[in-house]
Amino acid sequence: MANKVLVVISSGEEAMEKALTGMMYAINAKKNNWMDEVNLMFFGPSEKMIAHAEQGSQVSEFLKQAVDLGLTPVACRAISDRENITTELSGLGINVEYVGTTLSSFIKKDYQVITF
């Protein structure tokens, strides 16, 4: 079995603790080399939560840590365009793309997908 993980954060403000838990796992898995490859994806309500997070909040600090560790988070363009937050997400170092094929590609490459 491959030692690769895709962490999908779909929870938003309605379940912020759940979203933060997923972000914390991705950060620690990368920092501590728990997995050979770690990827982070924001999908759904989490995109709005990230885009509207206040600077200095735990959400923005976790995102900064993830990017500083070399994780390149991805967010769904269809959702970000619908919510008018694409520019905000891009400005935070998040790759904004249509993630249907991206997610399918990770699955085909035997990544373990965990969602928060």
Query: Which of 110, 108, 65, 106 is CA-nearest to residue 43?
Result: 106
Q: Mean pLDDT over residues 102-116, rounded? A: 96
Query: Which of 67, 66, 77 is CA-nearest to residue 99?
Result: 77
Query: Which of 70, 68, 18 is CA-nearest to residue 46?
Result: 18
pLDDT score of 8: 98
Query: Looking at the predicted structure, is the pLDDT value of residue 2 above 90?
Result: no
pLDDT score of 36: 96
**CA triplet 26, 28, 33: central angle to 5 degrees?**
100
pLDDT in tens, 30-85: 999 999 999 999 999 999 999 999 999 999 999 999 999 999 999 999 999 999 99
SS3 of 33, please? coil
pLDDT score of 111: 97
The answer regarding whether domain 4-115 maps to CATH 3.40.50.300 reads no
pLDDT score of 1: 58
